[in-house]
Amino acid sequence: MVKGTTVADDITRAAVELFAANGYGGTSVQQIVEAAGVTKGALYHYFGSKDDLLFGIYDRLLGTQQRHLEAIVAAGGDIDEVLRAACMDVVETTVAQLDEAVVFFQSAHLLSPERHDEVTRRRRTYNDAFGALISRGQAEGRYRTDIPLPVLLAHFFADVHYLGQWYSPTGTSSAAVLAQQLTDLFLAGIRRVDAAAVDPAG
């Protein structure tokens, strides 16, 4: 066991690493318990099935991002700053849990139907709250309205979804720098050309 972690943490860590490297279907319970240094009995004490373990990975990633977004929205402020904070957070939390994100996009379809529906519902809740920020900026005349909201959302989240395919934490860009770069590109792309004319800060 890693010092300072629980048995459940060690099982989850091992599962995330194996799922990311070998795929959900290519990972056995035996491989997970061996990597975690626990028994099968210990795994089944905390997780009733491999499906429970996979869902737990999604639950942690989705839960973190949802709580952060709610806190950002609750803090209020100028819409540009609120949306900037939301964009940067989703990039930084994805990088911080990069293996979880890889598993998320590779294996969500392998969840049980009930669990898959729950993940879909929670992703929709997050996207709706994120989209509401863009809609607020559109209502204030800040952001372009010539492109449908779903396309604007897809434009941003496509970059986030592919981070696990190319980003390396050992590369030249830190998570904070990457988050700023992707956020700057996104906000520049959705801003109205004449936004300065209606922006009180412009």
Average per-residue pLDDT for the chain: 91
* CATH 1.10.10.60 residue window(s) in the chain: 1-48
Fold of 1-48: Arc Repressor Mutant, subunit A (1.10.10)
CATH class, 50-198 region? mainly alpha
Contact 83, 134 (CB under 8 A): yes
What b-and-e string marks burial along 112-142, b requiring 16 or more CB atoms within 10 Å of the CB?
eeebbebbeebbeebeeebeebbeebbeeeb
As beta bridge partners, residue 143 has 191
pLDDT at 3: 53
Q: Which two tokens stand for residue 109?
A: 């379809």
Q: Three-state SS for 191?
A: strand
- Which residues, 6+ apart, have CB-to-CB distance to 73 below 8 Å? 82, 86, 129, 133
Q: Which segments of the chain belong to CATH 1.10.357.10?
A: 50-198
Residue 196, φ and ψ in degrees, nearest 5:
-60, -25
- Please tell me the chain's helix, strand, coil percentages from 3-state DSSP, rounded to the nearest 5: 75, 0, 25
- The closest of 146, 141, 54 to 100, measured between CA atoms, is 54
- Per-position pLDDT tens, the chain of length 202: 555 569 999 999 999 999 999 999 999 999 999 999 999 999 999 999 999 999 999 999 999 999 999 999 999 999 999 999 999 999 999 999 999 888 988 898 999 999 999 999 999 999 999 999 999 999 999 999 999 999 999 999 999 988 988 888 787 778 999 999 999 999 999 999 875 544 555 4
- pLDDT value of residue 202: 47
DSSP structural state of residue 143: B
Phi, psi (rounded to 5 degrees) for 193: -60, -35
pLDDT, tens only, 110-167: 999 999 999 999 999 999 999 999 999 999 999 999 999 999 999 999 999 889 888 8
Reference 35, options 53, 16, 49, 52; nearest CA is 16
Question: Residue 126: its pLDDT value, please?
Answer: 96
